[in-house]
Amino acid sequence: MTLNAQASVPDTASDSQGMAIIARTQGQMVRRRFFRHRAALAGMILFGFVIILAFSSIGFAGIPGWWDKTYLDTGALTNQGKPTLSLIPEFLGGAGLHLGEHPFGQDDIGIDYFALTMRGAQQSITIAFVVGIVATFFGTVVGAVAGYFRGRLEAVLMRLTDVMITIPVLIIAAVVGRMMGDSGALVLGLFLGLVTWPTLSRLIRGEFLSLREKEFVEAARAIGTSPRRIIFRHILPNTVGVIIVSATLGIASAVLLESALSFLGLGIQAPDTSLGQLISRYRSAMVVRPWLFWWPGMFIIAIALSINFIGDGLRDAFDPRQTRVRA
């Protein structure tokens, strides 16, 4: 009787707040909080749609796509190069839902602008991801080494970081873009990543300075655990949230950085193209043929905005202060 009576007593602390506490692992809580973030889900869907559309339409790396035109083929101008895309159904007074021969229109020499925009999106996304991966790797390594080992090594690494931070990123990137713009998206992204890691390294250093003084690190050090094992098995897993969020936001910044460089003529060079280069090339046509300006601009906004939404969702999901999840 006593056991049954105790089992039937409700948890007043939980019921008083209208909340049931459920035991979940850290990974389960992170996933649950992320998938409840509506803006992050919308950003993930939008970004996934852009990636699938860009890489499946005209093909990539020798793999053919479903679109029958390329970004290099010229042709006769049809209807003054105006877009044939129609999104208004006939019952609403439109021409119906269809892509047409040139959904985004044509440029000055008759190249299909849909193919051009998709190629530009491919290059911009590729550069952004390479920059994000390279900058995250070097920023994490430099920050982790400086934060854990301290001493002269930390002083040298942090002074190098301070020097990199004091120089405007756009100036460094412009020099790199000028030298590497002809080498392709992968090489350009690699070198841009090598000059955009300092901010993340300072964040990781701060995390390591805090975590290296925790009891579990002191205990591991006391039993003779090697520094490499302490870094990779004890400290680094506790900084995954900061690393992932910073990498996500770094990718969004890389999209805008690449677009700015290409707009200035310092990024991807012809005959290849990128979204920023398309905007730069046709900015004078904004009044006469605005679609040549707006289509790449809309894709830049869609990519950067969706990645920022994903980053916001990851930041909230990894927030250690959010320890409760409603049932």
Average pLDDT in the 226-255 region?
86
CA distance 249 to 257: 12
As beta bridge partners, residue 60 has 63
Residue whose structure tokens are 């090697």: 226
Report residue 230: phi and psi, to 5°.
Answer: -60, -40
Q: For the chain, where are the alpha helices, taking DSSP H only? A: 2-8, 12-15, 26-35, 38-57, 113-149, 151-166, 169-180, 185-193, 198-211, 215-222, 227-229, 240-263, 275-281, 291-317
**Percentage of the chain lying above the pLDDT 90 cut:** 21
Helix axes 291-317, 26-35, angle to 10 degrees: 140
Q: What pLDDT shows up at residue 91?
A: 67
Q: List C-alpha distances in Å: 113 to 66, 291, 315.
A: 16, 9, 37
Please count the CA atoms within 13 angstroms of the CA of 156 that sit on its side-chain side. Answer: 5
What are the pLDDT digits (tens) for 271-307? Answer: 788 888 888 888 877 778 888 888 999 999 999 999 9
Both structure tokens of 293: 């300006």
List the one residue out of 42, 190, 66 whose CA is nearest residue 118.
66
114: Cβ contacts below 8 Å, ≥ 6 apart:
57, 67, 69, 102, 103, 104
The pTM of the full predicted model, rounded to 2 decimals, is 0.81
Q: What number of other Cβ atoms are within 10 A of residue 204's Cβ?
A: 26
**Three-state SS at 187:** helix
How many Å apart are CA 112 and CA 164, to the nearest integer? 42
Average pLDDT over residues 21-48: 84
Any residues with CB less than 8 A from the CB of 192 and at least 6 apart, and which? Answer: 127, 130, 131, 134, 173, 176, 177, 254, 257, 258
Confidence of residue 52 (pLDDT cuts 50, 70, 90): very high
**DSSP bridge pairs for 106:** 112
- Reading the block at residue 47, the tokens are 């970004």
Residue 51 CB partners (closer than 8 Å, separation 6+) = 125
Residues of the chain with pLDDT > 70, as a percent, come to 87
pLDDT in tens, 166-220: 888 778 777 877 777 677 788 888 888 888 888 889 999 998 888 888 888 888 8
CB 130 within 8 A of CB 183: no
The model's confidence at residue 142, banded by pLDDT at 50, 70 and 90, is very high
CA distances for 33 relative to 29, 66, 313, 326, angstroms: 6, 37, 8, 10
Which is more confident, 272 or 115? 115
